Structure 1
Amino acid sequence: MQEKEKMRELYDTTKKLSGNGRGPERPVKSKDGEVITNIEEQRNRWIEHFKELLNRSAPLNPLNIEVAHTDLPVDVGPPTIEEISMAMRQIKSGKAAEPDNIPVEALKDT
């Protein structure tokens, strides 16, 4: 047996023993509740299901939903020294540098 075949056999055996493989899929049923086994019929049933689901007409009495407020109290000014200090304390050391290539330790030492 070649090395590649042995590795494949090991992988398959491990997968079976671990039980982490995909379980059996749920059967597709017709509108009458009968199990559909033909792949093409299953696809057609899914198409039919989603057409019914997504192409419904709007309800006659829509729900009474209040309009969202647009004047939310959000501070968009520059951060305070206290906010920056708190953020710096929350950064964990030993992590990889962000896209700016500045290591966390260099930021904390300043």
Structure 2
Amino acid sequence: MENEEAERAYREANKEAKRSVAQAKARAREDMNDKLETKEGEKRIFALARQREKSTKDFTHIKQVKNKEGRVLIDNNEVRERWKEYFKALLNEENARGVLEDGEPNDRRTTAVSREEVKQALRRMNDGETTEPDNIPVEVWKSLEEEGLEWLC
């Protein structure tokens, strides 16, 4: 008997809680609608829409390369061609080079660096870094993909 009475009281309290939540949601919707009908509310709607649209985009890796005229290139083939132009100009003109002194010869055998080791090293490097001695940005090597690995290995 006590269980039935407790169960009935629980059901009644549960109904009352659901009714209170529904009323609170309805009041909140009415308040929101009243606010949205104002000029400020319109601005808020557009801000929410922009925020939702931005949250759906993936900005983990942004490729932004500009051509000689300053136009942003989006197509991967155009980006690759622009990098080729850049390096052709960079590597075919005389630049001041630091003079390195001769070091001690290495009498031990050294193993070649594998493609996988190069791939892993590139993945670990942060964008914006440059590699010595040529100061080529890491983004270049990453964007060249397999072609870049051929050059590095």
Relative CO higher for 1 or 2, CA cutoff 8 Å, sep ≥ 6? Answer: 2
TM-score by length of structure 1 reads 0.28
**More helix per residue:** 2
TM-score by length of structure 2 reads 0.22
